[in-house]
Amino acid sequence: MNVTERARVRRIPKRGAYDSETIYAILDAGFLAHVGFCLDGQPFVIPTLYGRSEEKLYLHGSAASRMLRQLETGVPACVSVTLVDGLVLARSAFHHSMNYRSVVAFGTARKIAEPEMKKEALRVISEHVIAGRWNEVRGPYEKELKATSVLEFAIEEASAKIRTGPPVDEEEDYALGVWAGVLPVELEAKSPVPDSRIVDGLEVPQYVLRFRNR
């Protein structure tokens, strides 16, 4: 992927990566993004779902969303996705850290107006979050499509940053009687909770169980 100075990792550059494979793998493992943009000189960073197809991210929401209305004007935007893999507990307060995989992507968005393309982008978002759901649910009515704004964010350039491994302490601190190591963490899906008005006899779909056990 192309990288200019804007996207080059300067702080601990060895943790930076710019190849599409690494960046897409992180984007595909997550589904929550934080979208940054400026409005009248005020930066906003708004959490939102996304889907990915090649170098495009799809964002959606209410047609009244300020974030989407601002982004569709083509203002420069920055999308960041973070996966936390562990708390890195060092012997000194200073050397505590996190294990993580994150992506910072720069680009601009455009509104998708054509209904079939809009539906396809919504399918991409839905399948990105929980694969298999789109084929089961009722598709959007025309009025629902109208009430939904869908944007295509074209990634112009992006960086990934990845930290793995144990804490790195000062040599003299390894002798301290302080427990140190990594506390691995991950997002975990619990047992599905059926809605109280579900039609009798329906089992939890396989794709829901697959998501839970992924």
Ligand X SMILES: Cc1cc2nc3c(=O)[nH]c(=O)nc-3n(C[C@H](O)[C@H](O)[C@H](O)COP(=O)(O)OP(=O)(O)OC[C@H]3O[C@@H](n4cnc5c(N)ncnc54)[C@H](O)[C@@H]3O)c2cc1C
Geometric angle at alpha carbon 166, from 163 and 167, rounded to 5°: 95
| 130 burial level (CB within 10 Å; 0-12, 13-18, 19+) | middle
* Residue 25 within binding range of ligand X, rule CB under 6 A: no
Candidates 7, 59, 77, 79: give the one binding ligand X (CB under 6 A): 7
DSSP at 15: G
CB of 12 to ligand X, least distance (A): 7
Candidates 18, 100, 207, 211: give the one binding ligand X (CB under 6 A): 100
Compose the 43-82 pattern: x for residues touching ligand X by CB under 6 A, - for all others. Answer: ---------------------------------------x
* Residue 87 within binding range of ligand X, rule CB under 6 A: no
Strand ranges inside 5-163, DSSP E:
16-17, 32-39, 42-49, 51-53, 56-62, 77-89, 97-111, 148-163
Candidates 22, 102, 108, 149: give the one binding ligand X (CB under 6 A): 102
Residue 94: strand, helix, or coil: coil
Chain residues in the site for ligand X (CB under 6 A): 6-11, 82, 84, 98, 100, 102-104, 159-161
